Amino acid sequence: MAIEIKAPTFPESVADGVVATWHKKAGEQVSRDELIVDIETDKVVLEVVAPADGVIEKIIRDEGAVVESAEVLAIFKEGASGTAGGADAGQAKTESKNNDSVKAESQARHQADGSEKISQDGEIIASPAARKMLEENGLNASDIEASGKGGRLTKEDVVGHLEKKKSDTGSRPATAAASQPKAAADDMPAGDRTEKRVPMTRLRASIARRLLEAQHNAAMLTTFNEVNMKPVMDLRSQYKAQFEKRHNGTKLGFMSFFVKAATEALKRFPAANASIDGSDIVYHGYQDIGVAVSSDRGLVVPVLRNAEHMGLADIERSIGEFGKKAKDGKLAIEDMTGGTFTISNGGVFGSLMSTPILNPPQTAILGMHKIQERPMAVDGNVVILPMMYLALSYDHRMIDGKEAVQFLVTIKELLEDPARILLDI
């Protein structure tokens, strides 16, 4: 029986997608729930799997094609038998031309197209960071021992393999080094300058477009302050072991304190939790806090729904789950849709100060930065304290400078006396 393989049904916030990678070719045998094709949207990569055991008869939309919601991608024949490598090479992109067997062809194609599943005596799963390093260094996953959970190949596994390889190469004759994958580049005359042109990913293009829109369509301004992190650090140090034990391994970080402080400040200054829709101002009666997370594909902002009702443990647990999803490329569109306020933490990368850009249609974003010890004047004495610069970027059309400053001061005061967060004062 012939079945139409269709693109997923996109939510209203996603107009279309791009066929990123066909993992199977026309005429190739597939099993039920086996990954067939990836569809990349401006938010996430969506996976389309086989509806049953059978064969892909015809691929209708090739890699790179722009597709709309529920558009037909291929024709699938349930219960039919096919070949392991595919009967019609013209229907799918062949990533290797000199393979001696279908199995070798499949392995090369998976490495070249960045597929998450890489053949290794069966099937292992590589993290996105590991896949990228495999491609950049021309490595075969089957040569590297995987140490991740469930046999996952991690970035650290690849780094360790490269370091070992580099060490071994240093003790080998020059002829051995000539056989390495990048030998061609080494043979280039000294002084040659190379360039590599690659298409911008859908997510990166979306990020670029939204950042430009934010700067062009808002009267954006940034105000700064600094916060003494010692009270939060002392509280965290005193209770982190008990917290982790009480909440089944969830660790107490700093982000939960900032989220709770932000939700309280948003209650006091609702303009920072609003959005502009044409000539209307939309005030939100809830706090959906977006937490910017860096992934291999770019910056993504999953949202903590109704953060005002969440405890510290709930916040930390949710952020941890978002981080894992982002690393594995498993964030869903629903995870990143909406949001009334955003917190960005450039401090994890060492940023001392920055001016975060608004996440439209939101009217404000809080930037956290690196905690650094500095000499501070306290009651006439010089004291060394762990300080952090805070930045609040806001839309001046909606928020006055006075409100913005008071909003940031409120967050500062709550963090410097964290008991107020718990007592709601």
State the catalytic residues: 396, 400
Q: What are the angstrom distances between the C-alpha of 342 and each of 241, 325, 374, 391, 408?
A: 29, 19, 27, 12, 14
Contact 155, 127 (CB under 8 A): yes
Q: What are the angstrom distances between the C-alpha of 309 and each of 235, 260, 344, 422?
A: 21, 9, 21, 12
Q: Count Cβ atoms within 10 A of the Cβ of residue 235 and give its class: 0-12 exposed, 13-18 middle, 19 or more buried.
A: middle
Contact 89, 33 (CB under 8 A): no
- Three-state secondary-structure class, residue 256: helix
Rounded Cα gap, residues 229 and 227, in angstroms: 6
Quick one: tokens of 46? 């969506």
Rounded Cα gap, residues 48 and 53, in angstroms: 14
What does DSSP say about strands 289-291 and 341-345: parallel, antiparallel, or unpaired?
A: parallel
Quote the DSSP letter at residue 177: H
